[in-house]
Amino acid sequence: MLARYIHLDRRLTVAEHEGLGGWKEVKEAIKRADVDATVKQALRAKPSHTGLTARRQKYFPT
């Protein structure tokens, strides 16, 4: 089976917060379309000035 990827940049508005809003809309759209899909959040893995790399979920606004 051929894997296909879609990168969706759905930023949060002032009234939304991580875990609601955009995530819910995307998951509901996938369900309505009746497709086999996985929703993943981008990760941030950027080294700090000390060289330590901390991995965390990337979301906006941060």
Residue 61: per-residue pLDDT = 56
Every domain of the chain and the residues it spans:
1-62
DSSP type of residue 51:
S
DSSP 27: H
Distance CA 11, CA 23 (A): 10
The tens digit of pLDDT for each residue in 3-59 reads 677 777 766 666 766 666 677 788 888 899 888 888 877 778 888 889 899 887 776
Give which of 47, 45, 6 is closest to 55, Cα–Cα: 45
